[in-house]
Structure 1
Amino acid sequence: MDFTYTDDQRAFRDAMRALLMVEASPERVREGWELDAGISPQLQELIAAQGLSALSVPEAFGGLGLADTDWALLSQEFGYYAVPDAALNTAYPAACLIAALPDAPSLQQATLPRLAAGELQLAISHPLNPLVADADRADLVLAWADSEVHAVPRSAVDVSALASVDPARRLYRVSLETGAGTRVADAAQGEVLWRELINRSNLAICGQLLGLTQRILDISIDYSAQRKQFGKAIGSFQAVKHHMADVAVQSEFAKPVFNRAAWAVEHGHPLRDVYVSQARLACSEAAALAARNGIQLHGAMGYTWECDLQIFMKRIWALASSWGDAAFHKARVADWLFAPDTEIGPGKTFI
């Protein structure tokens, strides 16, 4: 198993990092909080102009046709800069699902080119993630119904808004009717499609969590070098160093687990469900520790509206149970780990 990133993948990641560094500042993220969409017009234009919604759309439909490992790198940058994630993280798994539909060429032709051009917005309704992001602005809702896949137009969907701890997220409960006219995949096909969508949705979250962890670590280290007590920068105190070191170690241990999960999904590895859930647990634990230690380092000031820390901390909390909470992912790992025929150990785990 080789999940080393290529030079082209790293170059694309670096170009995206340079762009977001300028265009996705904390001030611009805050600007979107006051708007109905939760995202500033400048960031919306950036997403459309750079073709970010086209990353996973096949080239035949006008997209870039990037793979899961490509997205794994880019999603870390989206997390690091707290880019409002709904449109991007929905476009990635949704584009893959639509492209994989076995008997829906008309739907693919009607949606994928528009998605690649930034002219179409999708939402996903599934029991594992009952709060649907941006459902009010979606043109089409991909809905689960007894494992079937349904494509429901927005005009046939009722939505009710819910508050989120992250001011950039717009969450809704949806009510919709499904039937033969909206079905695009039957239950047997849908089980496979939804399984891959769940894995890809969690990969996107894992990447964000790693980026958020690194951003909080960077903010906290910078603050600890400037904030002084007893005539010394608090970063010189051993207890503070330990807090930051714990986050760095947790994050570094999570990265290879995440990289393996992305590789497994891209290559259809038989244990990809397990690897994705293991990655989700590892990345979630690292991010939760970063948020906890970051707020302890900053004190009550870290909660204030003006402090950048709270932007990234709230995103971590908002993602904590998205597309499966810890219990769900622990159960997926445990079902494999404690099965009577499971073979574990270095010689079996990393092949």
Structure 2
Amino acid sequence: MDFSFNEDQEALADTVRRYLMTELTPELIRELWETGTGRSEAGWAQLAAQGMTAVSVPEALGGLGMSAAEWALLAQTWGYFGGPDTLMDTSLVTVALLARLPASDWRDTLLAQIAAGNARVALGHSVNPYVADAHVAHVLLCERDGELHRVAPTACTRKAVESVDPSRRLFELQWTPNASTRIADADEATPLIAAMLDHGAFAVAAQLLGLTQRVLDAAIDYTSERKQFGKPIGAYQAVKHLLADVAIRYEFARPVVYRAACALATDDPQRALYVSHAKLAALSAAQLAARNAIQVHGAMGYTWELDLQIFVKRIWALAGSWGDATFHRERVASTLIDARMPIGPARTFELE
């Protein structure tokens, strides 16, 4: 099976990369930290104009009709530049969830609004103790006791929760479920909630890949410029080993994340296994990158002035988003051990 990205997918990712390089800079991220919402309305409108909010929305509703395969590159790029939660939760996870619901006026209207950049959605799942970006959401889709509910922001009370990453805006929500908010009962909601979790965990895994590359790039740049005893510290073998270890871990994680994207795009019956594997592999690479990058920077690595701290804090914050390492290890173990799933390189893709 050929799992290389085609020219259109690469071109889309490259276009987004060049756009974010100028429009989502560390300076802008720092400025947004000081605002009340931490979000930019103008920036969201620009993302919509670039087609980022419409990637997965069906063409009939104003979208591009693409799959999770395209998000493998796009979410990775979003992570590289330290983008906030709203885009992934709305344009990837929410759209995947809505696509599994029966067609209705409210569903189709919401999808069209997402594609046009006129709606942002916050998601509540039992695996996440707090809801991200509830303060800017036009609607909330929340799990409660195994059911799925559509909740208006005015029907909730929010309590802000501080995050290690100032870019994350987290809230503890209080709301009362009732028949008017319920969009799927326990039986109907089970596959929907599972899809929400899998797409959310995949989005985090792909972002962690991008963050790994960003932190590694920052460390390489610093070790090329910082001199000790008359030569760049990057010339010393011990420093080279620290960065090489990150590069190797990154290269091993990348195909695992791409395999998860394929599993989501094809709705593979074992997608939960591939997604959890991706989250674990990407998190391992990102945490190593954060630790080693701080080490090669020395005490400077902890300072507020360096951009490195923006992306390291993002890694730490995403570590527990959509399931921590323990949660995903248990999902992998339950599939491989309890279900006795056959494994091995020959079974990465089942050939017909």
Give TM class, smaller chain. Answer: over 0.9
Residues in 2 aligned to 1:130 and 1:279: alpha-carbon distance in whole angstroms: 22
How many angstroms does 1:308 deviate by?
0.8
Corresponding residue for residue 14 of structure 2: 14
Q: Provide the secondary structure at the position in 2 that maps to 1:173.
A: strand
Contact kept? 2:90, 2:114, Cα under 8 Å: no
How many angstroms does 1:42 deviate by?
4.7
Contact kept? 2:134, 2:171, Cα under 8 Å: yes
Contact kept? 1:265, 1:272, Cα under 8 Å: yes
Residues in 1 aligned to 2:264 and 2:214: alpha-carbon distance in whole angstroms: 26
Corresponding residue for residue 153 of structure 2: 154
Task: Give the AA of the match of 1:242.
Answer: H
Task: Give the AA of the match of 2:72.
Answer: A
How many angstroms does 1:119 deviate by?
1.3
Corresponding residue for residue 33 of structure 1: 33
Deviation per CA, 1:110-156, whole angstroms, max 9, x where unpaired?
A: 31111111111111111101211111221211011222211011111
How many angstroms does 1:171 deviate by?
0.5
Contact kept? 1:90, 1:201, Cα under 8 Å: no
Corresponding residue for residue 97 of structure 1: 97
Corresponding residue for residue 332 of structure 1: 331
Contact kept? 1:52, 1:88, Cα under 8 Å: no
Residues in 2 aligned to 1:84 and 1:315: alpha-carbon distance in whole angstroms: 9
Residues in 1 aligned to 2:247 and 2:43: alpha-carbon distance in whole angstroms: 30
Residues in 2 aligned to 1:69 and 1:27: alpha-carbon distance in whole angstroms: 31
Task: Give the AA of the match of 2:57.
Answer: V
* Runs (5+) with no aligned partner, structure 2: none
Corresponding residue for residue 210 of structure 1: 209
Worse-matched range after superposition: 8-17 or 42-51: 42-51
Corresponding residue for residue 270 of structure 1: 269
Contact kept? 1:161, 1:170, Cα under 8 Å: yes
Deviation per CA, 1:301-325, whole angstroms, max 9, x where unpaired?
A: 1222220100110100010000000
**TM-score, normalising length from structure 1?**
0.96
Corresponding residue for residue 220 of structure 1: 219
Corresponding residue for residue 255 of structure 2: 256
Residues in 1 aligned to 2:169 and 2:198: alpha-carbon distance in whole angstroms: 22
Residues in 2 aligned to 1:98 and 1:346: alpha-carbon distance in whole angstroms: 34
Percent of residue pairs identical: 50
Corresponding residue for residue 3 of structure 2: 3
Residues in 2 aligned to 1:255 and 1:302: alpha-carbon distance in whole angstroms: 26
CA RMSD, 1 decimal: 1.4
How many angstroms does 1:41 deviate by?
4.9
Corresponding residue for residue 128 of structure 2: 129
Corresponding residue for residue 293 of structure 1: 292
Correspondences of 1:183-198 after superposition (within 5 Å):
183-198=182-197
Corresponding residue for residue 82 of structure 1: 82
Residues in 2 aligned to 1:118 and 1:90: alpha-carbon distance in whole angstroms: 10
Contact kept? 1:29, 1:84, Cα under 8 Å: no
Q: Count residues in correspondence.
A: 350
Corresponding residue for residue 73 of structure 2: 73
How many angstroms does 1:340 deviate by?
5.6
Task: Give the AA of the match of 1:88.
Answer: M
Contact kept? 1:31, 1:40, Cα under 8 Å: no
Q: Provide the secondary structure at the position in 1 that maps to 2:150.
A: strand
* Runs (5+) with no aligned partner, structure 1: none
- Residues 1:116 and 2:82 are matched in the alignment: no
Indicate how the Cα distance of structure 1 residues 89 and 163 shifts in structure 2: closer, same or farther if over 3 A, else same: same
Task: Give the AA of the match of 2:182.
Answer: R
Task: Give the AA of the match of 1:206.
Answer: A
Q: Provide the secondary structure at the position in 1 that maps to 2:338.
A: coil
Corresponding residue for residue 246 of structure 1: 245
How many angstroms does 1:253 deviate by?
0.1
Q: Provide the secondary structure at the position in 2 that maps to 1:221.
A: helix
Corresponding residue for residue 233 of structure 1: 232
Residues in 2 aligned to 1:140 and 1:223: alpha-carbon distance in whole angstroms: 43
How many angstroms does 1:252 deviate by?
0.1
Task: Give the AA of the match of 2:171.
Answer: Y
Contact kept? 1:157, 1:174, Cα under 8 Å: yes
Corresponding residue for residue 303 of structure 1: 302
Residues in 1 aligned to 2:263 and 2:167: alpha-carbon distance in whole angstroms: 31
Correspondences of 1:156-195 after superposition (within 5 Å):
156-195=155-194
Q: Provide the secondary structure at the position in 1 that maps to 2:151.
A: strand
Corresponding residue for residue 52 of structure 1: 52
